[in-house]
Amino acid sequence: MSKDTLPGLTACNYAMLRRATRKLGQFYDDVQAPSGLKATQQGLLYQIHIGDEPAMSAIAAALVMDLSALGHTLKPLIRDGYVETFADPTDRRIKRVRLTPQGLAKLEEAMKLWHVAQQRFEDVVGKEKAARLRAVLDDIAALDFDLPTTP
């Protein structure tokens, strides 16, 4: 344990994960800064791009977010002209999202920076360890932590 770690943190899975997430988030945000995007925004643009005009509910589910949080995260991307929402042509109750041409250009710029951050992370952590970390985190994200109901 480093001298910067409080003893109580090491016993809590959530605290240690949040600590690592903040550290990694700061790193990716710093690398993404020249694009004007936060790492979370770059990731969201990427998910929209590969989702082929995904429904907002599908994005929220994939990112383990609620719809209101997703809407809040999308607002600056919509304001800046990178993303637009539209009603699904077959079911107007479904709101879909797509990148604008400006958004696609911004994503291309941001992805170059993402590759720099990703490579630096793998250089520091190790390629195999980074792959194992992603696999473990994906497994955790898929778990059901609902508490059992009591009779």
- 20-31 pLDDT tens trace: 999 999 999 999
What pLDDT is attached to residue 31? Answer: 97
CA distance 81 to 31: 22
- Residue 92 in any domain: the answer is yes
> Rounded to 5 degrees, what are φ and ψ at 7?
-55, -35
Closest by alpha carbon to 23, among 44, 8, 9? 9
Domain that holds residue 95: 13-141
What pLDDT is attached to residue 144? Answer: 86
CA distance 112 to 117: 9
- CA R_g for the chain: 18
Is 77 in contact with 83 (CB distance < 8 Å)?
A: yes
- Residue 4 in any domain: the answer is no
- Residue 2 in any domain: the answer is no
> In the chain, which stretches have pLDDT less than 70?
1-9, 150-151
CA distance 26 to 110: 16
At 40-57, the pLDDT tens digits run: 999 999 999 999 999 999
- Residue 150 in any domain: the answer is no
What pLDDT is attached to residue 25? Answer: 96
What pLDDT is attached to residue 141? Answer: 87
User: Token pair for residue 43?
Assistant: 């990731």
- Residue 7 in any domain: the answer is no
Number of domains, the chain = 1
Neighbours of 82 (CB within 10 A): 24
What pLDDT is attached to residue 55? Answer: 96
- Residue 151 in any domain: the answer is no
- Residue 62 in any domain: the answer is yes
Residue that is written with structure tokens 């604008």 in the block: 100
Q: The CATH number of the domain where 93 resides is what?
A: 1.10.10.10
- Residue 1 in any domain: the answer is no
What pLDDT is attached to residue 142? Answer: 87
